[in-house]
Chain A
Amino acid sequence: MNSLAAERRGKAVLTAVLSVICVIYVLPVVAVLINSFKLNTFVKTDTFALPTGEMWAGVDNFVKGMTFGNYPFWNSVKYSVVITILSTALILIGTSMAAWYIARVDSPFCKALYFLCVFSMVVPFQMVMFTLSNTADQLKLNTPWTIPVVYLGFGAGLAIFMFVGFVKSIPLEIEEAAAIDGCGPVRTFFLVVVPMLKPTMISVGILEIMWVWNDYLLPYLVLDLEKYRTITIHIQYLKGSYGTVDLGATMALILLAIIPVIIFYLTCQKHIIKGVAAGAVKG
C-alpha cells in the first residue's frame, strides 16, 4: 500500500517536471508571438518583455511585413502553397504507380530502378545541387508550376521504397480476383490497389508535405528568384540581406509562416506522428 502511494507521488512529481519542460519548450514560439508586436528597437534589448507601453507596435509590423524586402509576402505564401500541393500530389501518384509496377513486374530493369532509388536515399543534396539547378534551368523547370518535376525526381527514392515495402505485403489474390473479374492493370491499380495503399499514402504525403514546405536550398537554387520566392526563401532574404533588418517585422512574418504549420499539426497530429514513425523505421 505504502509503495503504491510512493509511486503515485513519484508520478505526480514527473508530471510536474514534464509540465515545466513543456512550458520551456513552447517559449521560443511565444517569443516570436510577443516580438511580432514589438517595435524593432526593443526586440534586441527587451526580447523577453511583453510588448507594452512604448514597445507596442500594434499591427504595424504585420502591415510593414507585407511589402518588406521589396517582395510581396502574399506571393511567397501563394508559391509555397502551389509548390507543396503540386509536388506532394505528383509524388504520391507517380511513385505509388511506379512502386506497384516494380513490385509486381519485378523485371531486371525494375530491380535496377529499385536499387537506384534506395541508393538515392543516401545521396546528400549537396552532391547534385549545382548540376541539378543547371539542368532544371535549361529545362525551364524554374517556376512553381514545373518545380514539382524536380521534387518528384529527387524525392522519388524514399517514397518508392515505402510504397514497394507495403505493396509486397498485399496478397496477390486480391488483384488476381480483380483480373479474373475483367479489370485491366490500370483499373486494378486505381480501383483495387489505391484504396489499400491509403495508410501508406497518408504517411508518405505527410513526410513530403513537411519536406517541401520547409525546404530551402532546392527551391533557392532552382527557382527564378526575381519572380518566385517561397516563404522560407523570403524569410532568409530578409535576415540574410545586409544593412538594417527590421526584427519586429521579420518576427511578424515568421509568426504568419508558422501559424498554418501549427494548425496543420494540431488537426492531423495522429497521422503526422504515425507517418514519421513509419518513415523512420523503414528509412
Chain B
Amino acid sequence: MNRKKITRGNTIRRSTRKWFPLFLGPVVCAFIIGFVWPFVQGIYLSFCQFKLIADAKPIGFGNYVRAFKDAAFAHAFWYTALFTVVSLVLINVLAFTVAYVLTQNIKGSNIFRTVFFMPNLIGGIVLGHIWSMIFDGILSKFSTSIVMDSKYGFWGLIILMCWQQIGYMMIIYIAGLQAVPEDMLEAARIDGATKSQALFKVTIPNVMPSITICMFLTLTNGFKLFDQNLALTNGQPIVMQEGGAAIKTTEMLALNIFTTYNNSSPNAHGTAQAKAVIFFILVAGLGLAQLAYTRKKEVQQ
C-alpha cells in the first residue's frame, strides 16, 4: 500500500517538476527580496557601525553591549513584559467568559458576536487615535491627559487592547467550545455534575488546545505591539534619569527599536539593528516554544 502511494505521487511529481520557474519562481524571488536577504543583511549589520548601509564597517559586539547597557531598552523590556502578562490574563479570562456565555443558547448571540469582533477590522493606528481622543475627553475633566502620567498610558493601552482582542480570542474560544462533544456534557449531567463542575472538569479540559493558541497569540501580540503604542502615547511621558538618560516611560520594545534607529548618534543604526536581533530572538523563542508545545500535544493525541 505504502509503496503504491509513492509511485503514484511520482507521476504528478515528474510532470510538474519542470514547471519550477512558473510555480515557484515568483514567490522565491519575492521571498528573497522581502525576507531572506533583509534578514541575513540585518544579522550582519547588527555587528557593524553604519549610517548608510553601503559604508558599514564591522565593529564586533559593540552594538550589543550598547543595547544591553541602554536603560531605556531595559525599561522597555520590563514594561513590555508587564503589559503582556496583564493583557494576556485579562483578555483570555474575558474572552473565554464571553465565548462561554454566547454558546449557552442566548438570544441574539450572533449580533453580540458581530459587535465584539468588529474592532479587529480597524487598524492599530486608527484605534490608537480614537482611544486617545476618548481618554483625553475623560481626563480633561480632571485637567490632565493620557500623556501626563505613565499609569494612564499603561491602563489606557490595556483597555484598548482588551477592546480590540477580546472579540478575536472569543471567536477561537467559540470554535473550541462548539467542538466539545455534547454527549460528554450530557453524561456529566446525568452523573449529577453541577454546572461549574461540568465547566471545570469537562469543558475546560476539552478546549485546552484553544486556550493554548489564545495564550500564545496574546503573548506574541503583546510583545510585538507597535501601532497602538505609537498612536496612543508614543512613549510619553518622558522621565529624566539621574545619569542624564531620558526614558520614555510607556515605550514598548518595538517602539524603542524604532526610536533608536531615528536617533542622530553615529551608533544609532547599528544599535537599533542589534536590538532588533535581540527582539527577534525573544519573539522567535516564544513562537518556537508554541510550536514545540503543539507538536507534543499532537503526539499525545
In the assembled complex, A52 has its CB within 8 A of some CB on chain B: no
In the assembled complex, A153 has its CB within 8 A of some CB on chain B: yes
Partner of A261, one of B37, B39, B121: B121
Interface centre among B168, B272, B276 (most CB of A within 10 A): B276
- Given A15-B107, A176-B11, answer yes or no on A156-B31 (Cβ-Cβ < 8 Å): yes
Q: What is the chain B residue whose CB lies nearest that of A150?
A: B34
- Given A101-B19, A258-B126, answer yes or no on A18-B101 (Cβ-Cβ < 8 Å): yes
In the assembled complex, B95 has its CB within 8 A of some CB on chain A: no
| Contact assessment for A101 and B123 in the assembled complex, using a CB-CB cutoff below 8 Å | no
| Contact assessment for B227 and A217 in the assembled complex, using a CB-CB cutoff below 8 Å | yes
CB-CB contacts of A133-174 with B at 8 A, as 1s and 0s?
011100101000000011111111100100000000000100
In the assembled complex, A273 has its CB within 8 A of some CB on chain B: yes
5 residue pairs bridging A and B, Cβ less than 8 Å apart: A15-B108, A98-B27, A105-B16, A135-B37, A281-B213
Q: Chain B nearest CB: distance from A202 CB in Å?
A: 16
In the assembled complex, B190 has its CB within 8 A of some CB on chain A: no
What is the interface residue range for chain A against chain B? 35 or more
Note all chain B residues with C-beta closer than 8 A to A160: 27
| Contact assessment for A97 and B138 in the assembled complex, using a CB-CB cutoff below 8 Å | no
Q: Chain B nearest CB: distance from A167 CB in Å?
A: 12
CB-CB contacts of A168-184 with B at 8 A, as 1s and 0s?
00001001100100001
In the assembled complex, B78 has its CB within 8 A of some CB on chain A: no
User: Complex formed: what's the CA distance from A189 to B23 in Å?
Assistant: 10
- Given A131-B38, A213-B123, answer yes or no on A95-B27 (Cβ-Cβ < 8 Å): yes
Note all chain B residues with C-beta closer than 8 A to A264: 121
Q: Chain B nearest CB: distance from A221 CB in Å?
A: 10
Note all chain B residues with C-beta closer than 8 A to A113: 24, 28, 31
In the assembled complex, B89 has its CB within 8 A of some CB on chain A: no
- A residues within 8 Å of B by Cβ? 11, 14-15, 18-19, 22, 25-26, 28-29, 31-32, 35, 43-48, 94-95, 97-98, 100-102, 104-107, 113, 116-118, 120-132, 134-136, 139, 141, 149-157, 160, 172, 175-176, 179, 184-186, 189, 210, 213-217, 232, 235-236, 239-240, 247, 250-251, 254, 257-258, 261-262, 264-266, 269, 272-273, 276-277, 280-281
- B residues within 8 Å of A by Cβ? 8-9, 11-13, 15-17, 19-20, 22-24, 26-28, 30-39, 41-42, 45, 53, 101-102, 104-108, 111-126, 129-134, 136-138, 140, 163, 168, 171-172, 175, 213, 217, 224, 226-227, 230-231, 234, 254, 257-258, 261, 269, 272-273, 276-277, 279-280, 283-284, 286-288, 291
- Given A239-B231, A257-B126, A276-B168, answer yes or no on A184-B36 (Cβ-Cβ < 8 Å): no
| Contact assessment for A153 and B101 in the assembled complex, using a CB-CB cutoff below 8 Å | no
User: Complex formed: what's the CA distance from A126 to B252 in Å?
Assistant: 12
Interface centre among B26, B32, B108 (most CB of A within 10 A): B26
| Contact assessment for B112 and A153 in the assembled complex, using a CB-CB cutoff below 8 Å | no
User: Complex formed: what's the CA distance from A176 to B5 in Å?
Assistant: 12
User: Complex formed: what's the CA distance from A160 to B28 in Å?
Assistant: 12
